[in-house]
């Protein structure tokens, strides 16, 4: 793979795939992290004399043409503000106006194409659409880590049209360097903290981590499938009954390989899925019938913190409870704070964990915050990510 410092971008039209899928409410961008994270690559290309054509997606449009709600115009306006220079938006959805604007673009200028997902072919990896996009520029740079696990036209398929002129952007490079460190050369003890609602989305990573970590902490809604697999009573807690066998298999693999798998010993339960519901702490194996597990309990918090404190590498993906509700956020926040305070190499991925890190104000204390939850998980599963393979 070629990094940006191996390229010559002077007077070149660079097609740059960015991850700019930001939350927008009533036309206002509520979190611009992804746009700001794209700045190092954009600035590097500008400083090196490129004309930049940005390709990005926003939300989930139908794929049948322009939809105002998913237009990249507010993103371009915000980027323009951050850069202090104009960012033009292509005047149509991949037709003449787009082609004319790309053709007229000069070094130092930026053009943002409309949402690539306005075209159905994008998410299907349509080659004709990839070829069309490729015809607009001379060099391809991919910086969109968050979509590298998808074989879409603008993230992977397009690369074949630039056999000698395809590059890894700075953000993507940063992700790969840190993920490689986690996968290949982590300092031990290595602890993974995996939470979130569903076991099903994280089975492969749990299986794959057994060969890498010394401790696996499981929290969040997915813990109850494991507790039930161990014979516990979980009341109305989240459970994927069709994954009980897989949970048993994972428990067995960890036991066989001698890797510690820590589940919450106590649980904060509620009598309704509501911040103001009645709540109490009970042993996780004995959750009463009408109650549901909403957060890890105080003994579990202490136990998980002890593991974190003894670790030299920590990977955290997924909240340990329903942290969006203040009464059930303590587990996620307390363990998160401990990760921030530790001197270990710490990696955090997934939107919810990043939100928790931001809420705690400890982002600067985390060694590496991944911008792609799903992509990070697939990388850790040992899968080849199409967007990276194409480079
Ligand atoms: P995921 O997308 O799988 O990482 O799941 C994130 C979601 O899991 C968050 O919205 C949390 O509120 C939710 N979650 C965490 N713990 C629990 C729990 N004990 N019961 C229900 N939902 C939970």
Q: Is 374 a catalytic residue?
A: yes
pLDDT digits (tens, 9 = 90+) for 69-84: 999 999 999 999 999 9
Closest C-alpha to 56, from 96, 93, 20, 2: 20
Single out the catalytic residue among 299, 374, 382, 383: 374
3-class DSSP state for residue 54?
strand
- Nearest-angstrom CA–CA distance, 55 and 34: 14
220 alpha carbon – ligand 1 mean position (Å): 6
68 alpha carbon – ligand 1 mean position (Å): 31
Residue 272 confidence (pLDDT) above 90: yes
- Nearest-angstrom CA–CA distance, 218 and 238: 14
Tell me phi and psi for residue 73, to 5 degrees: -55, -50
Residue 367 confidence (pLDDT) above 90: yes
- Nearest-angstrom CA–CA distance, 43 and 315: 30
324 alpha carbon – ligand 1 mean position (Å): 9
Residue 289 confidence (pLDDT) above 80: yes
350 Cβ below 6 A of ligand 1: yes
Q: Are 46 and 164 in contact (CB under 8 A)?
A: no
The DSSP call for residue 272 is: S
- Nearest-angstrom CA–CA distance, 208 and 193: 14
Q: Are 266 and 297 in contact (CB under 8 A)?
A: yes
322 Cβ below 6 A of ligand 1: yes
- Nearest-angstrom CA–CA distance, 138 and 128: 17
343 alpha carbon – ligand 1 mean position (Å): 27
Residue 368 confidence (pLDDT) above 80: yes
Q: Is 351 a catalytic residue?
A: yes
Tokens for 195, please give them.
């939470």
235 Cβ below 6 A of ligand 1: no
284 burial via Cβ count (<10 Å: 0-12, 13-18, 19+): buried
108 alpha carbon – ligand 1 mean position (Å): 44
272 alpha carbon – ligand 1 mean position (Å): 15
318 Cβ below 6 A of ligand 1: yes
Tell me phi and psi for residue 317, to 5 degrees: -140, 115
Q: What is the pLDDT at residue 30? A: 86
Who's near 109: CB < 8 A, 6+ residues apart? 51, 52, 86, 88
Q: Is 17 a catalytic residue?
A: no
Lowest-confidence range among 72-86, 124-138, 283-297, 364-378? 364-378
Choose which residue among 271, 282, 322, 376 to substitute to test ligand 1 binding: the one with the highest number of ligand atoms within 8 A of its C-beta.
Answer: 322
Element at 56 (helix H, strand E):
none
The stretches of the chain forming alpha helices (DSSP H) are 33-37, 39-47, 73-83, 96-104, 121-124, 127-134, 170-184, 203-209, 223-229, 244-257, 298-309, 330-341, 351-360, 373-380, 386-389
Cα end-to-end span (Å), the chain: 6
Q: Is 198 a catalytic residue?
A: yes
Q: Is 382 left (phi over 0), alpha (psi -120 to 50) or beta?
A: left
Give DSSP secondary structure letters for 303-360: HHHHHHHT-SEEEEES-SS-TTSGGG-HHHHHHHHHHHHS-SEEEEESHHHHHHHHHH
Q: Are 193 and 215 in contact (CB under 8 A)?
A: no
Q: What is the pLDDT at residue 79? A: 98
Tokens for 57, please give them.
């997606």
326 Cβ below 6 A of ligand 1: no
Handedness of CA 72, 78, 82, 85 (dihedral sign): positive
pLDDT mean over 263-275:
98
Tokens for 104, please give them.
């007229």
Atom of ligand 1 nearest to the CA of 318: 4
Banded pLDDT at 185 (limits 50, 70, 90): very high
pLDDT mean over 42-57:
98
264 Cβ below 6 A of ligand 1: no
297 Cβ below 6 A of ligand 1: no
Handedness of CA 27, 33, 38, 40 (dihedral sign): positive
Which residue minimizes the CA distance to atom 6 of ligand 1?
A: 196
pLDDT digits (tens, 9 = 90+) for 220-248: 999 999 999 999 999 999 999 999 999 99
Single out the catalytic residue among 120, 124, 181, 198: 198
Report the mean per-residue pLDDT for the chain.
Answer: 95
pLDDT digits (tens, 9 = 90+) for 95-116: 999 999 999 999 999 999 999 9
Tokens for 303, please give them.
């136990």
Who's near 252: CB < 8 A, 6+ residues apart? none
223 Cβ below 6 A of ligand 1: no
Q: Which domains does the chain have, with CATH numbers?
A: 4-173 (3.40.50.1260), 186-360 (3.40.50.1260)
pLDDT digits (tens, 9 = 90+) for 314-333: 999 999 999 999 999 999 99
Residue 15 confidence (pLDDT) above 90: yes
Single out the catalytic residue among 351, 359, 382, 383: 351
Residue 351 confidence (pLDDT) above 80: no
Apex 171 CA angle, 353 and 129, nearest 5: 105
- Nearest-angstrom CA–CA distance, 262 and 278: 27
């Amino acid at each position: 793979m070629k990094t940006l410092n191996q390229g010559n971008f002077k007077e070149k039209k660079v097609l740059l795939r960015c991850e700019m899928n930001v939350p927008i409410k009533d036309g206002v961008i509520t979190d611009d992290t992804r746009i700001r994270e794209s700045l190092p690559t954009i600035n590097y290309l500008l400083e090196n004399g490129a004309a930049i054509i940005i390709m990005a997606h926003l939300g989930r449009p139908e794929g049948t043409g322009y939809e105002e709600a998913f237009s990249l115009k507010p993103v371009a306006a915000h980027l323009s503000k951050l850069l202090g220079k104009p960012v033009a938006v292509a005047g149509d959805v991949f037709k003449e106006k787009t082609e004319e604007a790309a053709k007229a673009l000069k070094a130092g200028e930026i053009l943002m194409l409309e949402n690539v997902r306005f075209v159905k072919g994008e998410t299907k990896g349509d080659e004709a659409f990839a070829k069309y996009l490729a015809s607009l520029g001379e060099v391809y740079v991919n910086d969109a880590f968050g979509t590298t696990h998808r074989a879409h036209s603008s993230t992977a398929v397009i690369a074949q049209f630039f056999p000698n002129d395809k590059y890894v952007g700075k953000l993507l490079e940063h992700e790969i360097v840190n993920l490689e460190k986690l996968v290949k050369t982590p300092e031990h003890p290595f602890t993974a903290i995996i939470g979130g609602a569903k076991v099903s989305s994280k089975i492969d990573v749990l299986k794959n981590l057994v060969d890498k970590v010394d401790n696996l902490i499981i929290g969040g809604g997915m813990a109850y499938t494991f507790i039930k697999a161990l014979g516990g009573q979980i009341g109305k807690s989240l459970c994927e009954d069709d994954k009980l066998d897989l949970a048993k298999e994972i428990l067995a693999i960890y036991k066989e390989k001698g890797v510690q798998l820590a589940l919450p010993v106590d649980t904060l339960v509620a009598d309704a899925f509501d911040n103001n519901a009645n709540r109490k702490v009970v042993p996780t194996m004995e959750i009463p019938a009408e109650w549901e597990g909403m957060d890890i309990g105080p003994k579990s918090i202490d136990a998980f913190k002890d593991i974190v404190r003894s670790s030299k590498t920590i990977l955290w993906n997924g909240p340990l409870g329903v942290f969006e509700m203040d009464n059930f956020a303590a587990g996620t926040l307390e363990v998160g704070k401990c990760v921030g305070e530790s001197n270990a190499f710490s990696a955090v991925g997934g939107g919810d964990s990043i939100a928790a890190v931001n809420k705690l104000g400890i982002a600067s204390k985390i060694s590496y915050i991944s911008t792609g939850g799903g992509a990070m998980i697939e990388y850790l599963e040992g899968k080849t990510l199409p967007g990276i393979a194409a480079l």
